[in-house]
A and B are shown apart, each in its own frame.
Chain A
Amino acid sequence: MKHVIIGNGIAGVCAAEAIRLLDVKADITLIGDETFPPYSRPMISHVLDGSQPHGKLPIRSEHFYDDQKITPLLGRRAGGIDVANRQVLLADDTRIDFDRLLIAAGADPRPLRAEGLYLKNIFYMRTQDHAKQQVAALDGARRAVVLGGGLVGFKAAYGLLKRGLAVTMLITSGYPLSMQVDETAGRMILDELVRHGLTVEVGVSVCAFEGNGSVQAAVTDAGTRLTCDMVIIGKGVLPACRFIPGAQIEVDLGVVVDEHLQTRAPGIYAAGDVAEMVDIARGCPWVNALWPEAACQGRVAGMNMAGRPVAYPGSLSRNIMRVFDLDVLTVGNANPNKDSGCRVLKAGGAAQQYYRRLVLKDDVLVGAVMINRIEQGGVLRSLIENRIPIRLPPERLMTPGFNFGQLLI
Chain B
Amino acid sequence: MKQVVVHPERCVGCMQCMLACATAHSRSLTLLAAVQETPQPKPRIHVGAGRFNEGFPNRCRHCDPAPCQTACLAGAIYRRDSVDTVMINPDRCINCASCAMACPYGVIRFHEDPLGPSGHAIAVKCDNCSARVAKGQTPACVEICKAGALTYEEMDAAMRRKTRDVSRSMSTDADQPTIPAGVALLKSIKQSELQLSGS
Chain A contact residues, CB within 8 Å of chain B: 14, 40, 42-43, 46, 51-52, 56, 59-60, 291-292, 295-296, 299, 318-322, 327, 329, 331, 374-379, 381-382, 392-393, 396, 401, 403-406, 408-409
Q: Is the CB of A403 within 8 A of B101?
A: no
Answer yes or no: B50 CB below 8 A from chain A CBs. Answer: yes
Answer yes or no: B30 CB below 8 A from chain A CBs. Answer: no
Q: Is the CB of B199 within 8 A of A393?
A: yes
Answer yes or no: B103 CB below 8 A from chain A CBs. Answer: yes
Would you list 21 pairs from A and B whose C-beta atoms are within 8 A, ordered by A residue? Answer: A42-B98, A56-B94, A60-B75, A295-B70, A320-B97, A322-B96, A322-B97, A329-B97, A329-B101, A374-B101, A375-B106, A375-B108, A378-B67, A378-B101, A378-B102, A378-B103, A379-B105, A404-B48, A405-B48, A405-B50, A406-B56
Q: How many cross-chain pairs have Cβ atoms below 8 Å apart between A and B? A: 117
Number of interface residues of B (CB under 8 A): 32
Q: Compute how far the CA of A6 lies from the CA of B160 in the bound complex, rounded to whole angstroms.
A: 49
Instruction: State how many angstroms separate the Cβ of B150 from the closest Cβ of chain A.
Output: 14
Q: Which residues of B contact A43 (CB under 8 A)?
A: 73-74, 94, 96
Q: Which residues of B contact A322 (CB under 8 A)?
A: 95-97
Nearest B-chain residue to A383, judged by Cβ: B104
Q: Is the CB of A291 within 8 A of B108?
A: no
Residues from 119 to 154 in B contacting A, C-beta threshold 8 Å? none
Please encode chain B, from 87 to 100, with 1 for each CB lying within 8 Å of some chain A CB and 0 for all others.
00000101111111
Q: Is the CB of B97 within 8 A of A404?
A: no
Q: Is the CB of B109 within 8 A of A292?
A: no
Answer yes or no: B51 CB below 8 A from chain A CBs. Answer: yes
Please encode chain B, from 71 to 83, with 1 for each CB lying within 8 Å of some chain A CB and 0 for all others.
1011100000000
Q: Compute how far the CA of A320 lies from the CA of B56 in the bound complex, rounded to whole angstroms.
A: 27
Q: Compute how far the CA of A319 lies from the CA of B71 in the bound complex, rounded to whole angstroms.
A: 11
Q: Which residues of B contact A401 (CB under 8 A)?
A: 48-49
Instruction: State how many angstroms separate the Cβ of B188 from the closest Cβ of chain A.
Output: 16
- Max chain A Cβ within 10 angstroms of own Cβ: one of B46, B70, B75: B75
Chain B contact residues, CB within 8 Å of chain A: 8, 46, 48-51, 56, 58, 67, 70-71, 73-75, 92, 94-106, 108-110, 199
Instruction: State how many angstroms separate the Cβ of B66 from the closest Cβ of chain A.
Output: 12
Nearest A-chain residue to B51, judged by Cβ: A406
Instruction: State how many angstroms separate the Cβ of A331 from the closest Cβ of chain B.
Output: 8
Q: Is the CB of B96 within 8 A of A403?
A: no
Q: Is the CB of B94 within 8 A of A374?
A: no
Given A56-B74, A299-B70; A320-B49 close (CB under 8 Å): no
Nearest B-chain residue to A330, judged by Cβ: B101
Q: Is the CB of B106 within 8 A of A379?
A: yes
Q: Is the CB of A291 within 8 A of B100?
A: no
Interchain CB contact (< 8 A) of B109 among A14, A295, A299, A375? A375
Q: Which residues of B contact A59 (CB under 8 A)?
A: 73-75
Interchain CB contact (< 8 A) of A403 among B58, B71, B108, B110? B58
Q: Is the CB of A320 within 8 A of B100?
A: yes
Interchain CB contact (< 8 A) of B58 among A292, A331, A405? A405
Given contacts A405-B49, A406-B49, A408-B51, 12 further A-B contacts (CB under 8 A): A40-B75, A56-B74, A56-B92, A56-B94, A59-B73, A320-B98, A321-B96, A329-B101, A379-B104, A379-B105, A403-B56, A408-B50
Nearest A-chain residue to B53, judged by Cβ: A401
Q: Which residues of B contact A375 (CB under 8 A)?
A: 100, 106, 108-110
Q: Which residues of B contact A327 (CB under 8 A)?
A: 97
Q: Is the CB of A318 within 8 A of B96?
A: no
Q: Is the CB of A403 within 8 A of B48?
A: yes
Q: Which residues of B contact A331 (CB under 8 A)?
A: 101
Q: Is the CB of B74 within 8 A of A377?
A: no
Q: Is the CB of A292 within 8 A of B56?
A: no
Q: Compute how far the CA of A396 lies from the CA of B48 in the bound complex, rounded to whole angstroms.
A: 13
Q: Is the CB of B94 within 8 A of A51?
A: yes
Q: Is the CB of A292 within 8 A of B97?
A: no
Q: Is the CB of A320 within 8 A of B96?
A: yes
Instruction: State how many angstroms separate the Cβ of B63 from the closest Cβ of chain A.
Output: 12
Q: Is the CB of A404 within 8 A of B102?
A: no
Interchain CB contact (< 8 A) of B105 among A296, A329, A378? A378
Q: Which residues of B contact A299 (CB under 8 A)?
A: 70
Instruction: State how many angstroms separate the Cβ of B78 from the closest Cβ of chain A.
Output: 11
Given A56-B92, A56-B94, A292-B70; A378-B48 close (CB under 8 Å): no
Nearest B-chain residue to A392, judged by Cβ: B51
Q: Compute how far the CA of A393 lies from the CA of B52 in the bound complex, rounded to whole angstroms.
A: 13
Q: Compute how far the CA of A14 lies from the CA of B65 in the bound complex, rounded to whole angstroms.
A: 13
- 6 nearest CB pairs, A to B: A405-B56, A403-B48, A382-B104, A59-B75, A378-B103, A376-B106
Given A40-B73, A292-B71; A403-B49 close (CB under 8 Å): yes
Nearest A-chain residue to B121, judged by Cβ: A322
